[in-house]
Structure formats: C-alpha cells, structure tokens
Amino acid sequence: RKEVEQDPGPFNVPEGATVAFNCTYSNSASQSFFWYRQDCRKEPKLLMSVYSSGNEDGRFTAQLNRASQYISLLIRDSKLSDSATYLCVVWRRAAGNKLTFGGGTRVLVKP
Amino acid sequence: GAGVSQSPSNKVTEKGKDVELRCDPISGHTALYWYRQSLGQGLEFLIYFQGNSAPDKSGLPSDRFSAERTGGSVSTLTIQRTQQEDSAVYLCASSSSGTGLTTDTQYFGPGTRLTVL
C-alpha cells in the first residue's frame, strides 16, 4: 500500500462549480501536510500547507482529519486556470527530511 | 529573486553513458533535495542534503546514482552507465532549513528531462 494515496481523476468540473477531493495517508505519525499544484510538464509548486484546524486561501480550503488519516482540498468558483494536477504531500520526521508525494489528482475545468 | 535552477533542461543520452545533472538552489537555503518523476508516476525521493552532507541517501535506486553538494550550494547528480529505466524528469528542490515543518516550504526547480535511448 502506498503511503499517500489519491484518486487520479480526472475530475471534470464546469467553470464556476465547486470541486473537492481527498487524499489518504497510511502513517499516523505523519506531521506536516501540504497541497502542491503541478501544471503539465512543469515543476510542482506549493499551493498551501494544511493546518490541523483547517485553513482557507481565497477559493481554496484544506482540511485535515487525523482520526481518519485524510486531508481534503476544496476549490470554489473553479476557474479555467485551476486545471492542473494536485499533489497531496506529507512529511514525518522518522522518514527523514523528504516529502512523500501522492500520485496526484487531475482536475480539468471546462467552460 | 532567483528560484531554483537546473541544467540542462533536456538531456538525451545513449544507454551506458554517464550523465551529470546540476542544481542551483535558492541562495541561503541549507537543504537541497533530488526527486525524480517518471512518466505517469508520482515524485520519488532520491537524496537529501543538509549543507554539504547527505544524511539521507535512502532513495537512490542503485549504486550507479551518486550526488554531491559543494560550498553548501550547487549540487550535482551523477548517473553512471545509464539505463533506459533511468529516463525521467529529475527535479531538485531547496528549502531554508530542512525541518519539514509547514513553514519550511520546498521550492522546486524546472527539472531536467533525461531520455536514455
């Protein structure tokens, strides 16, 4: 079983709609959580860190559920420019200083 | 300000040849990471540097892979006797402290696309 699992999608989303997707992690000792965005043939870029109480950044809301070991990302009022692959990323001290990436969820926003 | 840079952006080589990939991290970042991303696959950790030391080499797939970092800055990833399965995008990232905390963002370079024929 992979340490970080994501639905690969694609999630086809009408422009202006809301889309949400989850990521599950297997190790309960995971300490830090992030969502990265990766555009086609580009490098990953940090979208937002995920805090225990949940956090919001504009149209993006991230939630952490430690009991069930998942994090979620919700995108409101989707824009065409939100089309990308969203990578769920976790870090735990015992794994050294590397980030462990999920396989990504592809989101396609259509007019 | 300058981000992470990598060179070359593309490298095509023949099976059995050696290749060197270069990474210039963000100035002042003490932590440097190498990952690779194969077609349709997620990012796979290769090696991590704190300063010039590599406390975690656990991700290097074989002894054909090696990396060094000099002056706490530039890093080189070397792949000897390349194989076709080495074809991938090799990504470098740097962060200010290497603590892994939510404040220690890893910034990625544009990657080197390696094709082994």
Q: Residue B103's pLDDT is what?
A: 72
Q: Residue A98's pLDDT is what?
A: 76
| pLDDT tens track for A23-78 | 999 988 888 899 999 999 899 999 999 988 899 999 999 999 999 999 999 999 99
| pLDDT tens track for B56-91 | 888 899 999 999 999 889 999 999 999 999 999 999
Pairwise CA distance, residues A72 & A84, whole Å: 16
Cα angle, residue A69 at apex, residues A67 and A14 outer, rounded to 5°: 120
The residue assigned the tokens 């990521």 is A23
Question: Are the C-beta atoms of residues A60 and A74 closer than 8 Å to each other?
Answer: yes
Residue B61, preceding peptide bond in cis (omega within 30° of 0): no
Cβ within 8 Å of residue B83, ≥6 positions away: B15, B64, B116
B contacts of A87 (beta carbons < 8 Å) = 42-43
Closest CB to A43 among B50, B105, B109: B109
Closest CB to B111 among A31, A43, A99: A43
What residue in A sits closest to B90 (Cα-Cα)?
Answer: A43
Question: Are the C-beta atoms of residues B20 and B6 closer than 8 Å to each other?
Answer: no
Please indicate whether, in this complex, the C-beta atoms of A97 and B43 are within 8 angstroms of each other: no
Q: Residue A15's pLDDT is what?
A: 98
